[in-house]
Structure 1
Amino acid sequence: RPPWEMVSFKAPWASYAMLAALVMIPTLCLAWGKAPPPPPEPPVWKKALDWIVGILRDAEDFSWPKLPIEISVLDTVLSIETCAGYRAAMGKDKHPWLQVFVSCCICCFGGTTLTAFLLGQPPGWLGSTSSPLAYSLGFWLIFLCPGDIPYKAVTGIFPLAYALNVINCMSGAHGVTSWGSEKALHAFHFGSVSAADAAAHHRSGFAGSGPFALLCGTLSGCGGGILGAFLGCNGSAQNWSFTTPPTLRKPSVYVKLAAISSITYYCLRNPHAFLPWEQDVVEVGVSKVIVFFMWVSVMTAQDVFGVADPLAWMFPVLSPLVNLSGDVGGPTEKGIYEALLERGGSASDKKTK
């Protein structure tokens, strides 16, 4: 008998099976050929964050368009801001042009130069043709441009000055992160650990140490101002003089900002796995954006809201934790030591009595 005669289609189960086959087979064919659904659209805040991360990442390579030579935008703005501050400190005085050129160069690139000195490397700005040209352009615009139009615009038009300060905050953020801490973490002089050795000895694979990364990040962020104050080449006087930097007597707001942002970046990255949480709590690009917003927040508090030192709360809050009052040394205080040793008598004096 043929197979179709062996099944009685009058049975209920056969009818149900045939009906299910007639429905499911076309449905499966349509589902098989249908394209998969598109991935969900990321939220607006994620798009904005990715955009800012991309801008900050690519800012190092930005150059002025329609110029015959490549000139860095970040270095030009940094040069303009540094030279404008130097000229404002000069007041109505005039200084020899070469002295001003060298002084502004020290204040502009001194931080990354100090970091390169600690790492035993040539300064990065000297390894690029773009950076010296950008500095020379900024110097010419502030000191030599006919009519002093750029200097008057930078110091007299607040929206322009604020926009330049925001761009300069990118330089500060990169100084702490890419040009400071990251250089210390990847310094070949220390001998970075291979992945196999790191896994075998529970090490991170990064070079150097936490204190060294913090120091390089801080110096790259504010070392130019410290070096300029130490040499006396900040524009307040014509003659250079070696002196104690005022920032060591009382740290300036940007010295404190560079130190705080360097600590924050290191804690977010935790490169040496020293801290009790995993490495790179957030992406490296997001960590740099956080540092950038720290710089923008302090700058905005100063320029927009008129707060002279937005970080003035730090010392009063943190100093009691280590019993630090500002000045150390001086005459000793009488207290428990004298009570234990009978008001100044030493243990040897007590034995002789």
Structure 2
Amino acid sequence: DLMSSRARAAMATWAAWAATALVLSMLLSSVTWQQTLKTLTFGMGAWPVLDLIHGLAVAFDFRTSASPQGGPQRIVAICLTSLGGSMIMCFLVGQPCGWLCDNVTLPAYIVAWALLHHSPNDIVYRVFSRSPAVATVLRMLDDLTWGVAITTWGMEKTIGAAHLAPRGSAVAAILCGTIAGCGGGLLCDTASLMSTEWKLKTPQALRTVSFAPTTALCCCVLAYALRDPHNVVSPFMLHNAGVAFVPLQPEDVMVVAATLTCSVSTIRSTFEKLFENGKIV
């Protein structure tokens, strides 16, 4: 039985990685996929579709996992968790948050809160909570926004910062991209935003190596290398490997990052279900 369990675990591991590698390679080589993701991010007009998706995912987490909270407290908690990464990132580079510079981003998160907490007959929450397939699709779409946050909303905004000083810093680009990708979750845990009484504490993600910060950092480093905004990778590759490296455009880097975060997160969720309580289920 033990050998059988190990064999099934090995097969499940191999199958998950093989399937993900196949899907990832197909997506990254698909013009349709690239154009779809670019359209969601840049071409949907004034309405921030990805912000609404992220807001729905965060609001759903609060609805299912948070302690009882009043309406205003819940709205503030959802907005801080959703936008906390960009808030910290913008504070570090000394510029106003993007959601303060338009009239649609913050309302998108308020709409998400209203849909998950006050829709007629609670229909939106019931659909997400009673249909695992719908909830999974929401998670996957939210994981796409994770990659967009790391690149377009984090690293790229630092490279093109309002102040000249951080523009030429690789440390600033990678740090701010990482924070944009995981800062909201860290802020939520640090301030106990899911509790009835908010209080500061050491976030669990910083007590040990954890999934979200590690993934955000690795993804941002890869995105920086592919983007090569400070002309670091190209000379290195040419000098040491004799290979002419052509940096990717910001939109293409975003597609790679979003696909990567979605794939990695899906793998993690799959393994959590396969190995629940240490067993194949």
Equivalent in 158, 173, 187 of residue 213 of structure 1: 173
Q: For 1:303 and 1:149, how far apart are their aligned partners in 2?
A: 26
For residue 155 of structure 1, report the CA deviation from its aligned partner.
2.6
User: Is the Cα contact below 8 Å between 1:302 and 1:308 reproduced in 2?
Assistant: no
Larger radius of gyration: 1
> In structure 2, do the counterparts of structure 1 residues 293 and 238 end up closer, same or farther at CA, with 3 Å as the change threshold?
same
Q: Highest relative contact order (Cα 8 Å, sep 6+), 1 or 2?
A: 2
Letter in 2 for 1:116: C
Partner Cα separation in structure 1 for residue 49 and residue 82 of structure 2: 14
Equivalent AA in structure 2 for residue 256 of structure 1: T
Q: 1:271 to 1:307 in 2, by over 3 A?
A: farther
| Aligned residues: CA RMSD | 2.5
Listed as ranges, the gaps of 5+ residues in structure 2 are: 1-25, 238-243, 276-281
Could you tell me which of 242, 263, 288 is aligned with 2:221? 263
Partner of residue 255 from structure 2, selected from 282, 289, 307: 289
- Of 95, 120, 128, the match for 2:102: 128
Cα deviation per residue 1:116-143 (whole Å; 9 max; x = unaligned)? 1112111101212111221111000111
Deviations 1:66-105 (A, max 9, x none): xxxx532211111110011112222xx4211111110111
TM-score scaled to structure 1, two decimals? 0.63
Match of 1:38 in 2: none
Distance 2:85 2:245 in 1: 27
How far the C-alpha of 1:48 sits from its partner, in A, is: 5.5
Q: Find the aligned partners of 1:308 and 1:215 in 2 and give their Cα distance.
A: 33
Q: 1:49 aligned to 2:30?
A: yes
Q: 1:248 to 1:191 in 2, by over 3 A?
A: closer
- 2:138 is equivalent to residue 164 of structure 1: yes
Query: Conserved in 1, the CA contact under 8 Å of 2:52 and 2:108?
Result: yes
Greater fraction helix: 2
Alignment partner of 1:86 is 2:44: no
The letter for the 1-side match of 2:215 is L
Q: Deviations over 1:247-304 (max 9, x none)?
A: 1102431221111100110111222122313664444433222211211112221334
Distance (Å, rounded) in 2 between the aligned partners of 1:242 and 1:172: 25
Q: What is the CA–CA distance in structure 1 between the aligned matches of 2:191 and 2:232, rounded to whole Å? A: 37
CA distance in 1, matches of 2:246, 2:85: 26
Q: Name the residue aligned to 2:163.
A: 189
Distance in 2 (CA, whole Å) between partners of 1:134 and 1:74 is 9
Distance 1:308 1:104, change over 3 A: farther
Match of 1:107 among 68, 81, 89: 81
The 1:302/1:229 distance shift into structure 2, 3 A limit, reads same
Alpha-carbon spacing, 1:288–1:47, altered in 2? closer, same or farther (3 Å):
closer
Shift of 1:170: 2.5
* 8 Å contact kept, 1:176–1:217: yes
Letter in 2 for 1:300: T
Structure 1 residues 222 and 212: alpha-carbon distance in aligned structure 2, compared to 1, 3 A threshold: same
Partner SS state of residue 94, structure 1: coil
Q: TM-score, normalised by structure 2?
A: 0.78
Alpha-carbon spacing, 1:62–1:304, altered in 2? closer, same or farther (3 Å)? farther
Q: 1:239 aligns with which of 194, 197, 220?
A: 197
Contact 2:28 2:259 (8 Å CA) reproduced: no
AA at the equivalent of 1:295: T
Aligned partner of 1:299 in structure 2 is 265
Aligned twin of 1:348:
none
Kept in 1, the 8 Å contact 2:178–2:220? The answer is yes
Quote the Cα distance in structure 2 between the aligned partners of 1:208 and 1:215: 13
Q: How many residues align?
A: 242
Which amino acid letter does the alignment assign opposite residue 56 of structure 1?
L
Matched residue SS, 2:107: helix
SS at match of 2:168: coil
SS of match in other structure, 1:293: helix
What are the Cα deviations for residues 221-244 of structure 1, in whole angstroms up to 9, with x where unaligned? 1110011111111x1x21000111
Distance in 2 between the 1:49 and 1:272 partners? 28
- SS of 1:58's equivalent in the other structure is helix
